[in-house]
Amino acid sequence: MLGNTDGFFDPDNIKVLGLKVAIRKDQTNETIYHGGIVLPESSVDGYKATKATVVAVGKDANEDYGIAVGDVIRFDQCGVMYDTNPVTVIEADNIIIKMHGDKPFPLKNRVLVKKKTSLAELENTEILLPEDHLSVAIGEVFEVDNEDVVRKSTLVFLTCDADELHGPDGSYFSYEQDNIIATLEM
């Protein structure tokens, strides 16, 4: 037995396997914006970046994602597999970011991007778009899991397929590197 509805959990008596991660929910105080739609705290569970601490981790999750017991993470509640509040088992894929103190760090080929400007505000650009599309947002990568596709300080087009998160330094977006449609060289 993993736990009960009173939140009893004994991490010494559980072994999660593969890409599974057992976590203790610490708080649910961050709203995610997805595709420009605000999903408030009062919405149905899921789509929120819930803060949690890792209490047990499968071997594959540790090797593939670098997740370890004691890590502070933010996860998407849509991926909950087994919930004995406050302890939950999730797939490692549902971990949005890992925290290093107050600093977010992306996992598994993801990048974190802060909005920087719009295309209309850039000077000397050779990108031609209809005037009604000049407000397209451009962001700058400030943290990257690995530099296969983009590096820190790369400018990218912000698209609606990212999760918008809020941290102490403002809002930022989490993207899979393969979903970045274009980078800009200035």
Which pLDDT does position 128 carry in this prediction?
A: 66
Q: What is the DSSP string of 75-90?
A: EEGGGEEEEETTEEEE
Which pLDDT does position 109 carry in this prediction?
A: 81
- Residue 143 domain-assigned (yes or no): yes
Q: How many domains does the chain have?
A: 2
- Residue 3 domain-assigned (yes or no): no
Residues 34 and 76 occupy one common structural domain: yes
Q: Is the pLDDT of residue 64 over 80?
A: yes
Residues 16 and 102 occupy one common structural domain: yes
Rounded CA separation 143/49 (Å): 18
Residue ranges making up the domain that contains 114: 110-184
Which pLDDT does position 42 carry in this prediction?
A: 44
Residues 122 and 94 occupy one common structural domain: no
Residues 101 and 115 occupy one common structural domain: no
Which pLDDT does position 68 carry in this prediction?
A: 93
Q: Is the pLDDT of residue 148 over 80?
A: no
Least confident span in 32-46, 145-159, 161-175 = 32-46
Q: Is the pLDDT of residue 2 over 50?
A: no
- The residue among 50, 81, 106 that closes a domain is 106
Which pLDDT does position 162 carry in this prediction?
A: 76
CATH code, 178: 2.30.33.40
Residues 35 and 85 occupy one common structural domain: yes
Rounded CA separation 12/16 (Å): 11
Which pLDDT does position 72 carry in this prediction?
A: 93
Residues 116 and 180 occupy one common structural domain: yes
Residues 116 and 166 occupy one common structural domain: yes
Rounded CA separation 130/122 (Å): 15
Non-local (6+) Cβ contacts of 21 within 8 A are 54, 56, 57, 58, 61, 67, 89, 90, 91, 92, 95
Which pLDDT does position 102 carry in this prediction?
A: 79
> What's the mean pLDDT in 119-123?
70
The H or E element that residue 143 is part of is strand 137-144
Which pLDDT does position 134 carry in this prediction?
A: 57
Residues 66 and 16 occupy one common structural domain: yes
Average predicted confidence (pLDDT) for the chain: 76
- Residue 172 domain-assigned (yes or no): yes
